Structure 1
Amino acid sequence: MQIQDLAIPDTLKQQYLGQGIRELYPPQATCIEKGLLDGRNLLVAIPTASGKTLIAEMTMHRHIAAGGKCLYIVPLKALASEKYDEFGNKGVRVGISTGDLDRRDDALGRNDIIVATSEKVDSLLRNSARWMPEITLVVVDEVHLIDSPDRGPTLEMVIAKMRSRNPGMQLIGLSATIGNPKMLAGWLDAELVTSSWRPVDLRQGVFYDNRIQFEEGTRPIKQVSKNYDDLNLCLDTIAEGGQCLVFVSSRRNAEAFAKRAAGAIKSENPALAGCADRLQAGTPTEMIKTLAACVAKGAAFHHAGLSRNERSIVEEAFRKGWLKCISSTPTLAAGLNLPARRVIIRDYLRFSAGEGMQPIPVSEYRQMAGRAGRPRLDPYGEAVLIAKEAEQVPELFECYIEAAADDVHSQIAEPTALYTHVLSLIASGFVATRSELSEFMNRSFYVHEHKQGRLIHRAVDEALQFLIAAEMVVEVGEHIGATELGTLVSRMYIDPRSASAIVTTLREQETYADLGLVQLICSTPDMPTLYAKNADLAALSRMLEVRGADLWLPLPTDEDEAEAYYRGIKTAMLLSDWTDELPEEKICERYGVGPGDVYGMVESINWLLHATSQLARMFAPKFYPQIAECEICMKNGIRRELLPLIRLRGIGRVRARRLFNNGITSPEDILKHKKEELTMILGQGIADQVLEQLQPKKRDTDEKTSIDGEMPAAGQSTLLRFG
């Protein structure tokens, strides 16, 4: 099927033809035949790299040409950024929204395509974004993640809400190969397109005794290292001119392999030296120093402990062909389009709490294997598992290479997931009676899959009882409605259990303490926490002795609850060090984390602190000013004494401290000093910028900080700033 013959805008046709795309891949052609451009719902379950993005793009441009608006839903922020850049090069207006879960983002409605995570779309629905009724097409990327215990319930509810609100819209679900696509397609009222076709041939095999056993035959691998099979496989690919991805089970393993690979590759590419310099210009932790040293020699590691900037430097160098290999945890396979000639799945066992080492699921193997083969660059792609013993070779073939794809199942019946989603349905006006709530849940994937749905209705009743007891929902006869508290909790996008714990504790407290507040938030279901190892217990116990008076939650008597308590305390200690202005590299060293972990913790608690300040305004107004100040301190990583300075543009935690240590403690103090003095402290550019802000004629008299008892409006929070 020729691009020239398709019913898509001429401008898009010309762009495709200019890129050398003249004919559709077979799965893409099947989508056209099934009604893709005629408004039919489609579930497209095909392998990675077989052209799913083009399918979405053609449909979106068709809708835009007809005056429609498109919503593209992704599971991860990194993937949202990638799609935003990709779609923005096609001559239409593209918006992206992944943060601030309490905003309507009405300005997004000016765009033709809105790219957002499923959590953000759920938040936009809760906050009644005005442009939502204008959506004529929803594309759900990685729709098989409806099976994820973490993201699945939200994704399922977003799909159900969008179909309820915009019944005439078209829905396209894009997925990797799944075991029960007819079941999912039936729920979506969608035509099903499945295929095993790939633009680059995928060869899957198992390595043992210096050779790869493929289904088609064997291939010997030169032994360079006597001890490391993964390194031999990697160097074999590089010798052929290819690149390699190596998937391992932990960050430590990823870093260890990158060091070995760098020592063997020994690249002298000056472009890589530049990448290493960029990495070292950031937070100078030992981990980043190691990464920079590896990158300079042609290898890298990639995991969630890296900051977004550090990950992007690695990804860019790999896409340009400078880096020869990346070792990674499976997060890389889940998020980014980063293919390589050979993918090595070294670790197919992963530690699971309470269960020990367990095999990874087939779906995860397929996701990693699907990264093998770069279209138009590689003649083939190889996905290779490594066996430790001869008898494991047939086992790995049976368990992964020859195994059927995993089925996907609804996760919405999990009671903890239903607390937040039942409240959302009531507070957003989707349902107003118990019967309407029951009817809405009957349209879920869970009920479509299980027919009877008794379990989910029982779980819904339990969630409703909790919400009524927590004073978030009221019931009068058959009618149910959200209270002011319930509406706020839904719009702030926090778990009702978190909100209930926060409100209860705020009401009980007589005195305020930042550490007590942070500890409280770190004990909620919404807050990710650090793992508390046995080696940490001595330091945690000392902290309880020294700072116990500032803590709001006592050590539980139940030993089963003690682990979660210590995790919360350890996380609160890290965040306390952050606001105490401990350098990032010291925090990373002290807690054994990476810069990405620190940013993630700060980002999570920023959102929860903002929600807590709004709850305090309603239920504990005496604490509101302190909590509002704590929020700004946490966002910027500063002590309270720097609050007057941090509101100046260009002044972050480092420059504010520099000013303070030179006796300049407020904006007014700045005007008392000569420009030359400020230049010595801040540098000429920043000094000029600060002085310009403080000119009387340009001063924004409405700008206030929380010192005046004012809070930034929702969505206008100060961003993390460094330098």
Structure 2
Amino acid sequence: MASRTEYEPGTPVEAVFPSFAEAFPFESFNRMQSAALPAIADRDDNVVVSAPTASGKTALAEAAICRTLDAGGTALFLAPLRALTNEKESEWERFESLGYSVYVVTGERDLDPRRAERADILVMTPEKADSATRKHDSPRYAFITDIDCCVIDEVHLLDSDRRGAVLEVTVSRLRRLCDPRVVALSATMQNVDDVAAWLDAPPESTFEFGDDYRPVPLSATVETYAHGDNAFADKYRRLYRALDLAEPHINEGGQALVFVASRQDTVRAAEKARDELAERDIDIGARGDYDFHTDAAELENDTLRKSVVDGVGFHHAGLSKADKDRVEEWFKQGKIQLLFSTSTLAWGVNLPARCVVIRDTKLHDPLEGEVDISPLDILQMLGRAGRPGYDDAGYAHIVCDGSDADKYRQLLRDGKPIESRLAETLDSHLNAEIALGVVDDIDDVLSWLETTFYYARAQSAPGKYEAGDSLRDRVSATLERLVDGGFVDQSGLNIEPTGLGRLTSQFYLQLNTAESFDALCQRAASNESPPIDESTVLRAVADAAAFDSVSARRDEREAFEAVLGHEGDDLDDGNRKVLAILRAGMDGTTPGELQSDAWVIRRNARRLLAALRAFCERFADPRDANLVRRIEARIEHGVSDDTVGLVAIEGVGTGRAQTLAEAGIDSPAAVRAAGVDGLRKAGLSESVAERIHEQARDLPALDFDWKDIPDRIRHGENTMGEVTIKNAGGGEPAGIRVTVNGVEMTQQTSYLGEATVPVGVFGGDAETLTYEVEVAFPNLPLRPVVDSRTVDVA
């Protein structure tokens, strides 16, 4: 590679990266890129770059990756959103064509450890990287310790309420694990030096490019609207205000991008806008483009198909990839002149518009209720105004309530400093570091803290943050909380995690939720009331701290009261709403009033149920863990407890389980007994029937052999027998419990191929002895398998 101290604007890519010229979508670097290139291409220091949206930061990420690949290393790209990881996979086929492998690791895909290990470029979200670094010592995630360069896209995500602390501790942990070069990129932020101090980036590798580096100047204003009688009417008042602002640009053949709060809002706003544009007699070029109308007929979404032919579109994460790709391409071509979108579009997809309007500054969060859209998102959306090469200026507008206007004017005037969010969840993150073995004693606690952005920010803004002795006091108090809660054991200066602490870290639980789960398991292990049953499990999850901010509207309260009756009367309305969504979801009968929030709440509930199952397995009983696993499966698939075992079969989900159940096939054992012919008669195709039958044979299939158990025994006589459980199917961890007349005799846990359990037969006062052996599988949603023998006492 070339080695120079500076680069002129317009420097050809080939002159800097001769082996990677085809990896870039352009032939020469712009003014901003050329200024940062010496630090990226000719030095090994960590780099921090703050530059306006659309100024070309992505090319700097690619430049850092090229330098890493040229040296034979592995690069990690941390993308702020999961949707953007998939986008990078598509964009970086350019690297694939040069012989380098790109592998995206997300929670929605099954990890292939071999592909991850061999990848030259890894793409992950901060959350997935957090998970990987927590499990770095397992063979499955060992690849994460081989990173040579970590590129952080949109590092100002540090200031995100929910996700900022995750990014902060993940990068700090990664630096301790393998000390990669870090290249952090950001939209304009006030305190770039704080980020540089955190990452140890020297001044010559720290850049703050101002608005004069924007390819198109930005004119931004705050606009207010007059309130109506209700929130529904206000949405349309804001929409008409947005259309007033967009109309002059559309009339001139330009384009407008309007950001709204939700996926549903994009659709409704587009429908209303079509009618309004027609009423205002605004000329839209797409209306007469019949070739475009023919192309639009290929769209999968019916509403979108009708809308785009009038030059109005919408874009959200729920659209199919094909539909999103078409919308993006048509917007770039100018065929769609008015586009409604959620904020996701602002973070990654390069779709600038002459005019950007933020119609909604608040959104409904299923877990938090109505919240303000973060200032980071606001600035990110505004930054999409202005099309390089097409517009002399970009026009951006925030439509808001008059009481909020000064707040947003100050944001436009001063920007926003990036703050650390670690203090809000310091106890959980410190527990995770102790659980990982990173922190072994009290000195390590302070050393760990010094690697965080929280510490760096505290040094520059001691008035806002605790610093010095007060910071040490805060850390000591946090450690004391972990010790008192049973998450950490302390002996003198040494500290180590407990089983509770490790499970809490593994499942990303808040401490009070972990304490609640632990208390439930301890009561069950001691046979105290209440026992672990369906109601206590659902209540424990619904009452978890993760759902503390859930709110309930009036119509929702009526709906969940119809679902629950008097169940959970003592819970807050928000938690009771969660309980109703879980209870209804188990039967697949969620009322319409609860459906808008149901998906998010169930997804979070399934994570909590997986954690509770692990707690039960560790601290209570395998049969309790099995109960939780069945509830988890029922909430996911909406099937009855009688048929839940069907979804243990790979390839059987809600629809197939219902098809089989209607044919009287209600368990894996029944699937095996039905055979392929029986499954075909139940309504499955032959290929599916063969596959389902084969998968069912991989699940446990038990046979019980009772030896030396007499049919009759005299009073006062005793004898010993045994029961052998043989598994003709796939091996699986199992809890085996033997009772006599309902009283537990013995219990053990084993990996079940075959197990033998002793059985004592005692001729006591009872006239009949009923022996039961129960086998429960904590990790499978199979109903426990029970077999029994009866002995008469003469």
**TM range, smaller chain:** 0.7 to 0.9
Q: 1:570 aligns with which of 564, 572, 577?
A: 577
Q: Please give the per-residue CA displacement for 1:551-581, whole angstroms capped at 9, x wherever unaligned.
A: xxx72xxxxxx6xx32122122112222212
> CA 1:123–1:347 in 2, change beyond 3 Å: closer, same or farther?
closer
Q: Residue 686 in 1 paired to residue 688 in 2?
A: yes
Give 1:233-382 correspondences, 5 Å limit.
233-248=245-260, 254-264=266-276, 269-275=293-299, 278-279=300-301, 294=307, 298-301=311-314, 308-310=317-319, 312=321, 315-321=324-330, 323-334=336-347, 336-347=349-360, 363-375=376-388, 378-380=390-392, 382=394
Question: Is contact 2:364-2:370 (8 Å) kept?
Answer: yes
Ranges in structure 1 where 5+ consecutive residues have no aligned partner? 210-224, 281-289, 549-553, 556-561, 714-723
Ranges in structure 2 where 5+ consecutive residues have no aligned partner? 1-9, 225-236, 279-286, 460-466, 524-528, 702-727, 735-773, 781-794
Q: What's the counterpart of residue 101 of structure 2?
A: 93
Q: 1:523 aligns with which of 537, 543, 546?
A: 543
Q: What's the counterpart of residue 8 of structure 1?
A: 17
Q: What's the counterpart of residue 652 of structure 2?
A: 651
- Cα distance in 2 for partners of 1:511, 1:396 equals 52
Deviation at 1:109, TM superposition (A): 2.2
- Cα distance in 1 for partners of 2:318, 2:627 equals 33
Question: Is contact 1:645-1:656 (8 Å) kept?
Answer: yes
Q: Please give the per-residue CA displacement for 1:18-45, whole angstroms capped at 9, x wherever unaligned.
A: x4x1110111111112344421211110
Q: What's the counterpart of residue 65 of structure 2?
A: 60
> CA 1:149–1:136 in 2, change beyond 3 Å: closer, same or farther?
same
> CA 1:51–1:33 in 2, change beyond 3 Å: closer, same or farther?
same
What SS does structure 2 have at the residue aligned with 1:384? strand
Q: What's the counterpart of residue 552 of structure 2?
A: 532
- Cα distance in 1 for partners of 2:52, 2:731 equals 52
Q: For residue 532 of structure 1, what is the amino acid of its counterpart?
A: A
Q: What's the counterpart of residue 755 of structure 2?
A: none
> CA 1:432–1:691 in 2, change beyond 3 Å: closer, same or farther?
closer
Deviation at 1:448, TM superposition (A): 2.2
- Cα distance in 2 for partners of 1:379, 1:694 equals 61
More helix by share: 1
Q: What's the counterpart of residue 521 of structure 2?
A: 506
- Structure number with the bigger relative contact order (C-alpha 8 A, sep ≥ 6) is 1
- Cα distance in 2 for partners of 1:575, 1:705 equals 27
What SS does structure 2 have at the residue aligned with 1:96? strand
Question: Is contact 1:362-1:406 (8 Å) kept?
Answer: yes
Give 1:425-444 correspondences, 5 Å limit.
425-444=433-452
Q: What's the counterpart of residue 240 of structure 2?
A: 228
Q: For residue 207 of structure 2, what is the amino acid of its counterpart?
A: V
Q: Which stretch of the first structure deviates more once superposed, 245-254 or 459-468?
A: 245-254
Q: What's the counterpart of residue 494 of structure 1?
A: 509
- Cα distance in 2 for partners of 1:457, 1:444 equals 14
Q: Which stretch of the first structure deviates more once superposed, 157-166 or 529-538?
A: 529-538
> CA 1:297–1:87 in 2, change beyond 3 Å: closer, same or farther?
same
Question: Is contact 1:473-1:482 (8 Å) kept?
Answer: yes
Question: Is contact 2:80-2:154 (8 Å) kept?
Answer: yes
Question: Is contact 1:75-1:117 (8 Å) kept?
Answer: yes
Q: For residue 153 of structure 1, what is the amino acid of its counterpart?
A: A
Q: 1:84 aligns with which of 71, 85, 89?
A: 89
Q: For residue 429 of structure 1, what is the amino acid of its counterpart?
A: G
- Cα distance in 2 for partners of 1:521, 1:296 equals 47
Give 1:594-673 correspondences, 5 Å limit.
597-621=597-621, 622-667=623-668, 669=670, 672=674
Deviation at 1:326, TM superposition (A): 3.0
Q: Residue 462 in 1 paired to residue 464 in 2?
A: no
What SS does structure 2 have at the residue aligned with 1:640? coil
- Cα distance in 2 for partners of 1:618, 1:148 equals 34
> CA 1:499–1:323 in 2, change beyond 3 Å: closer, same or farther?
farther
Question: Is contact 2:679-2:689 (8 Å) kept?
Answer: no
More strand by share: 2
- Cα distance in 2 for partners of 1:58, 1:424 equals 34
- Cα distance in 2 for partners of 1:351, 1:648 equals 37
Deviation at 1:632, TM superposition (A): 2.6
Q: Residue 157 in 1 paired to residue 169 in 2?
A: yes
Q: Residue 410 in 1 paired to residue 420 in 2?
A: yes
Q: For residue 522 of structure 1, what is the amino acid of its counterpart?
A: A
What SS does structure 2 have at the residue aligned with 1:503? helix
Give 1:385-404 correspondences, 5 Å limit.
385=397, 399=410, 401=412, 403-404=413-414
Q: For residue 421 of structure 1, what is the amino acid of its counterpart?
A: H
What SS does structure 1 have at the residue aligned with 2:49? strand
- Cα distance in 2 for partners of 1:659, 1:351 equals 39
> CA 1:449–1:227 in 2, change beyond 3 Å: closer, same or farther?
closer
What SS does structure 2 have at the residue aligned with 1:339? coil
- Cα distance in 1 for partners of 2:52, 2:377 equals 13
- Cα distance in 1 for partners of 2:144, 2:102 equals 15
What SS does structure 1 have at the residue aligned with 2:124? strand
Question: Is contact 1:279-1:313 (8 Å) kept?
Answer: no
Q: Residue 186 in 1 paired to residue 180 in 2?
A: no
What SS does structure 2 have at the residue aligned with 1:230? helix
> CA 1:160–1:641 in 2, change beyond 3 Å: closer, same or farther?
same
- Cα distance in 1 for partners of 2:617, 2:443 equals 34
Q: 2:152 aligns with which of 140, 153, 161?
A: 140
Deviation at 1:349, TM superposition (A): 7.0
> CA 1:139–1:320 in 2, change beyond 3 Å: closer, same or farther?
same
Question: Is contact 1:245-1:340 (8 Å) kept?
Answer: yes
- Cα distance in 2 for partners of 1:674, 1:348 equals 56
- Cα distance in 1 for partners of 2:132, 2:176 equals 15
> CA 1:98–1:159 in 2, change beyond 3 Å: closer, same or farther?
same
What SS does structure 1 have at the residue aligned with 2:68? helix
Question: Is contact 1:265-1:299 (8 Å) kept?
Answer: no
- Cα distance in 2 for partners of 1:497, 1:101 equals 30
- Cα distance in 2 for partners of 1:87, 1:445 equals 30
Deviation at 1:362, TM superposition (A): 5.5
Deviation at 1:64, TM superposition (A): 2.1
- Cα distance in 2 for partners of 1:660, 1:347 equals 46
Q: What's the counterpart of residue 121 of structure 1?
A: 129
- Cα distance in 1 for partners of 2:71, 2:47 equals 19
Q: For residue 144 of structure 2, what is the amino acid of its counterpart?
A: M
- Cα distance in 2 for partners of 1:227, 1:648 equals 49
TM-score, normalised to structure 2's length?
0.73
- Cα distance in 2 for partners of 1:103, 1:704 equals 22
Question: Is contact 1:628-1:711 (8 Å) kept?
Answer: yes
> CA 1:693–1:77 in 2, change beyond 3 Å: closer, same or farther?
same
Question: Is contact 2:643-2:661 (8 Å) kept?
Answer: yes
Q: For residue 110 of structure 1, what is the amino acid of its counterpart?
A: R
Q: What's the counterpart of residue 590 of structure 1?
A: 593
Deviation at 1:319, TM superposition (A): 0.8
Q: For residue 526 of structure 1, what is the amino acid of its counterpart?
A: A
- Cα distance in 1 for partners of 2:309, 2:587 equals 34
Q: For residue 31 of structure 1, what is the amino acid of its counterpart?
A: A
